[in-house]
Structure 1
Amino acid sequence: FNTISLAASVAVITLVLGVSTAWLITRVEFPGRRLWEGALVLPLAMPTYVLAYVYSYLLGFGGPVEHLWQLVAGPQARIFSPHSYSGATLVMALDTFPFVYLLSRSALLSMNVSFEEVARASGVSRLSTLWRVTLPLMRPSIVAGVALVILYVVSDFGAVSLLRYQTLTYAVFQQMTGRSDNTAASILSILLVGLALIFLITERWFRQRSRFYQTTGHYRAPQRHHYGWLGTIAVTGYLGLIVGAAFALPASLLIQWSLSPEAQATLDSRFFGFVWNSGILAASAATGGVLIGLPLAYLASRRPTMLNLGCLQAAYAGYVLPGPVAALAVLVLFTKLAPVFYGSVLILIVAYVIHFLPAGLQSLEPALQHISPNLEEVARTLGLGMRDTWRRVTLPLVRNGFVVAWVLMFLQTMKELPATLLLRPVGFDTLAIRVWMEASEEYYQLAAPSALLIVLLSLPALALLVSKDWRAA
C-alpha cells in the first residue's frame, strides 16, 4: 500500500508541475524564457537520496524551516516531518517532474497550433481549449512521462531509506541485509516486478488508445503570447519557486556544507579513492553496456528475426528491475553458476549493465533506425567488407547515439546506490555509498563533498542531452 500510494501521489503532483511548466515555456513569452527552459531540467542532476538528505535537514526537527515557522505561528508550532509519507512525496515529486516536463514540452512544440486556433475561432475560451483540445492531444506524451515517474518511484531506494518510509524496494533491501533472507527478498522482488509490469502494461494500453495523427500537410508552429508585466512576475515566480526548491536551494546548501572545515577535512586520499572507484565502475559499466547494446540494436534493426527481436526485448527487462532486484538476481546467478566471482567487482559491473542497458538501447535503437541500410549496401558494392563498412560508414553515422548512450549509462551508474550497497566488495566505497552512509547518520557536512561532486558530474551530461546538436540522438 505504501508503494502504490506514494507512486500515485507523486504521479499527480508531477503531472501538474510538468504539464504546467511545459505549457508556460512553450505558450508564454517572457524575459529569460530560454534560461528557465534549461533550468527546469536541472533537478535531474540531483539524485533523490541527495535531495532527501537535504530536506531531512531543512524540514527536520529544529531545522531552519521549522524555526521560521515557529517565528510566525508560535514556539510550539510544528511542520510535517520529512520522515513520512508527505516528506517522501515532496522529495520524489521535486526530483522527477522533469520527466513529465520534457515529454510534455516536446509534445507542445510538435503540435499543430491550427487545432487550437479552430477551437478559439469557434468561440471556445482559452481555458476550455486547453482542457478539450490541447491536453487530449498531449495525452500520449503525458502518460509516457507519468509512467516514467511511477517506475522511478517504485524502484527508488535511496530517498525512501533516508526518509525511513517503508516501500517494497526498501523491504527487499532490508530482507537481504538485515535478515539475510534471500527467499523473502525474492518473493518481495516478484511482487515489485509484477507491480512495475502492471504500470507498464497500463501505460501502453493508454497510449494505444490515445494515438492522434495529422491528416493534412499544413503545419503551423505554436505562437507564444504576452501577458503583461503582472503575468511575467507570476510566471517567473512560479518557475523560480519550483527550480529553487528542486535544485537551487539544495545545491547552495551542498556548496555551503562543502566549504565547512568538517567537509574540507574529508578531502583526503580516501575521498579521491571514492572518486576513482565511482569513475572506474561507471566507465566500465557504460563501455560494457554500449558494446553489448550496439550489436543487439543493429541486429534487431537490420535482421529483425524472432531471435534478434527476442534478445532485444529481453535486454529491456532491466527497465522494470529496481536496483535491489537486479542485485538479487545477479547474486543468485553468480552464487549458483560462478561462486568464485562472489564478492568481486565483476558482479557489480554485470548488475549495472543489466540494470542500465535499456537506457543505452533507447539511444542506440533510434540512431540505427535513422541510418538507411542502402548506405551500407552501397559501401559493400564498392568492395568494402563488413568490418570496413562498420568502421567507415555505420559507426561514424551512429556516433551521436553511441556517445549519448554511454553518457546515460555512465551517469546512472555513478548515482546508483542499492546495487552497490548489496554487491560491493568489502571496503569498496563509492561517492554514492559515502553520501548515503554519512547522511544516514545525519552528518550533513561530511556527506556534502561527495554529493556535490555527483551533481557537478551530472551537469555536463544534462547539457549534452538537451543541446540542439545532440537532442535527436
Structure 2
Amino acid sequence: MNGPERVRNAAKRGTGDRSHAIDVSLTLLAAAIAAVLVLPIGWLVVDALNLGTRAAELATASSTVSVLIRSVALVTVVTVASILLGVALAVLTVQGDLPYSRFWTVLCALPLAVPSYLGAFAFVSAFGPNGELADLLAPIGIDAVPSVYGFAGAAFVLTLYTYPYVFLTTRASLLSLDGTLVEAGQTLNSGRWEAFRRITLPQILPGIAAGALLVALYTMADFGTPNIMRVEVFTQFIYAQYNAFARDYAAVLSLQLLAVTAVVLAIESRIGVDESGAYESSGSRGALDVDLGVWRYPALLVPVLVGVLSIALPVAIFGMWLLQGGPGYEAGRMAFSWSYGWNSANLALLAAAVSVLVALPIAINSARSESRLATLADRAPYVGYATPGIVLAIALLSFSLDVLPTVADLTGVDVVETFYKTVPMLVFAYVVRFMPQAIGSIRTSTLQVDQHLIEAAQTLGRSRLNTFRTVTLPLILPGVAAGAALVFLTTMKELPATLMLRPLGFDTLVTYIWRVKEAGLYGQAAVPALVLVAISGLSMAVILAQETGD
C-alpha cells in the first residue's frame, strides 16, 4: 500500500470514528430527553407508595371499583359503536357507488374537527330539559323530553365524535386493499358478505384495530364530555379526589387508569399484528366497488344523519348563542376577551416549537440507528401520549410539590415559584402529551430521505451538522411542519391539563369555555367554541389532503 492510499484510509477511519462518536452522542441525548419526559409520570408510584397497605384498600374500595367498571363499560360501548359506525361508513364511501362520494368522505371525517365536550354542550342545549327541543314541543302539549344525561347520552356523544378515527384508518386500509383477492373469492361462489368476512375483514383488521385504539384512549382520557353529561368516570373521580386534597389517593387512581390503558394497548397490539389473514399480493390495488342497487339512496341517510347531529347541530347552537346574546354576560367577570384566544395560540405555538426541537434528535436517531437504546428512546415518549391529560397533570403537580422544594433548598433558587403552575410547566405538559405526534411525522420524513445525497455531501467534505442543515433539513421540512401543526392543533383543544396546570388568573379558550359552563352561562361559549371548531377543522384539511384515492 502506497503513501496516498494509507492517508486516504486513515482519513476514512477518522471520519468513521467521528461519525460513530456522533451517533453514540445522539443516541444518549435522545435517551436522556425521553427519560426526562417520562420521569414525572413515574413519580405517581412514589406517591402511591406513601400510602403503604392503604393503597390496596383504596384501590379495591367499592366506590373505586364502581367507577372503574363504569369507565371500562363506557370505553367498551363507545369503541364497539365506533367500530360499527366507522367501518360501515368507510365501506360505503370506498366501495359503495354513492353519488358525490368525496363529499360524503369529508362529511364523515369532519366530526373530528369538533371537540367532544363542545358537542356535549350542543346536545345538552338542544335536547336537555330546558333545551331548544323542549321549547319547540311545548306549544303542542309535550312538556317533557327524554333526558340526554347519563351513561347512554355520554356514550352517544362520544361515539359521534370519535368514530372518525375508525373511519379514517379503515378507509385507508380499504383503499390499499388488493381487489383481485376479493374477485377471486367471489369466483369461488362466495357471497358478498362471505367474501367480506373471509377476505376483506382480515386484511383491514389492523386498520380497524388502530382506529379502535385511538377511540378507546380518547374515551378513557376524556374529562369534559362525561362531566357535562353527568356520568362519573375515572377522570372526574381523580379530579375530585385531588381537589379534596387526597393527593395520594388520586395517585393510586391515576395508576389504575394507566393500568387500564396498558391493557388496551396490549389488546390492540395483539389484534393489530396481522398474522392470520392480512397478506400482500402483487395484484391490482384498490377496493372492489359494490353496486348498492335500490339501497343506494337510503344508504345516504346514514352519513346525512351523522353530519346533521355532529356538525350542523353544534354550529347552529353556537351560532344561535352568538346571535341571541343574553343576560349575565358581564356577571361574575365572565365577559369574553380575545386575550384568551391569544393565550391559547401562544401556548400552542410554544408547545409546537419545543416539541419539534425535542423530537428532532429522537426521530432522526431512531430513523438512522437500529440499536435497542435508540428504539427505546423512540418508544418511551409514547407513554406520555397514552397517558390521560388529567393523570399527567397530577403527576407533574405531585412531582413539583415533592421534588422542587428540595432542589430549592440545595440551590438557593426558588424553582417552585419558577415552575409550579406556570406557563413553562404547562408547555412541558403539552410536550410530554403531544410530542410523539411530531416524532412520528419527522421520523417518517427522515426515512424517506435518500441516503446517497447525504453520503455525497459528506464526500465533498461537509460536516455532519452542515450536511444536516443544507441537505437533510430541507428534505424533512414538510414532515417537521406537519408534526408542528398536529401539536399546535391538539394543544389548542386540550382541556384537563390546561385546567389544572394553568397559572392563577390565566385563561385560554378552553378554560374560559369551562368557566362559563360551570357558571351555567352556556351562551358565552359561542365565540370560543366557533373559533375552536374552525381551528380544529384545519387538522382535517391536513389529513384529507394527504389521502389518495377517489
Task: Provide the TM-score with structure 2 as the length reference.
Answer: 0.80
- Contact 1:49/1:436 (8 A) holds in 2: no
- Contact 2:134/2:143 (8 A) holds in 1: no
For residues 163-183 of structure 1, what are the alpha-carbon distances to aligned partners after superposition, in whole Å with 9 as ceiling and x for unaligned? 221111111111222x02211
**Letter of the structure 1 residue corresponding to residue 489 of structure 2:** L
Q: Superposition RMSD on alpha carbons, in Å?
A: 2.4
Output aligned runs, 1:400-415, within 5 Å: 400-415=478-493
Deviation at 1:215, TM superposition (A): 5.1
- Contact 1:334/1:347 (8 A) holds in 2: no
Deviation at 1:329, TM superposition (A): 1.5
CA distance in 2, matches of 1:137, 1:431: 42
Deviation at 1:4, TM superposition (A): 0.4
Match of 2:283 in 1: 218
Match of 1:200 in 2: 265
Match of 1:23 in 2: 91
CA distance in 1, matches of 2:290, 2:281: 26
Deviates further, 346-355 or 458-467: 458-467
| Structure 2 CA distance for partners of 1:135 and 1:248, relative to 1, 3 Å | same
| Structure 2 CA distance for partners of 1:294 and 1:40, relative to 1, 3 Å | same
CA distance in 2, matches of 1:314, 1:273: 36
The SS at the match of 1:304 is coil
CA distance in 2, matches of 1:258, 1:471: 38
Output aligned runs, 1:5-404, within 5 Å: 5-66=73-134, 75=142, 78-79=145-146, 81-177=147-243, 179-208=244-273, 210=275, 212=277, 214=279, 216-228=281-293, 230-262=294-326, 271-335=337-401, 336-337=403-404, 338-340=415-417, 341-404=419-482
Output aligned runs, 1:417-456, within 5 Å: 417-456=495-534
Match of 1:466 in 2: 544
Match of 2:410 in 1: none
CA distance in 1, matches of 2:225, 2:280: 46
CA distance in 1, matches of 2:211, 2:150: 25
CA distance in 2, matches of 1:247, 1:456: 12
The SS at the match of 2:440 is helix
CA distance in 2, matches of 1:113, 1:209: 18
- Contact 1:161/1:170 (8 A) holds in 2: yes
Deviates further, 440-449 or 416-425: 440-449
- Contact 1:144/1:203 (8 A) holds in 2: yes
- Contact 1:263/1:445 (8 A) holds in 2: no
CA distance in 2, matches of 1:107, 1:47: 25
CA distance in 1, matches of 2:298, 2:378: 47
Identity %: 32
Structure 1: which 5+ runs fail to align? none
- Contact 1:99/1:145 (8 A) holds in 2: yes
- Contact 1:162/1:440 (8 A) holds in 2: no
Deviation at 1:269, TM superposition (A): 9.0
CA distance in 2, matches of 1:108, 1:15: 15
Count the aligned residue pairs: 467
- Contact 1:143/1:206 (8 A) holds in 2: yes
Structure 2: which 5+ runs fail to align? 1-68, 405-414
| Structure 2 CA distance for partners of 1:77 and 1:257, relative to 1, 3 Å | closer
- Contact 1:431/1:450 (8 A) holds in 2: yes
**Letter of the structure 1 residue corresponding to residue 200 of structure 2:** T
- Contact 1:277/1:429 (8 A) holds in 2: yes
For residues 136-180 of structure 1, what are the alpha-carbon distances to aligned partners after superposition, in whole Å with 9 as ceiling and x for unaligned? 221111111111101110011111122221111111111222x02
| Structure 2 CA distance for partners of 1:424 and 1:471, relative to 1, 3 Å | farther
**Letter of the structure 1 residue corresponding to residue 369 of structure 2:** R
| Structure 2 CA distance for partners of 1:471 and 1:412, relative to 1, 3 Å | farther
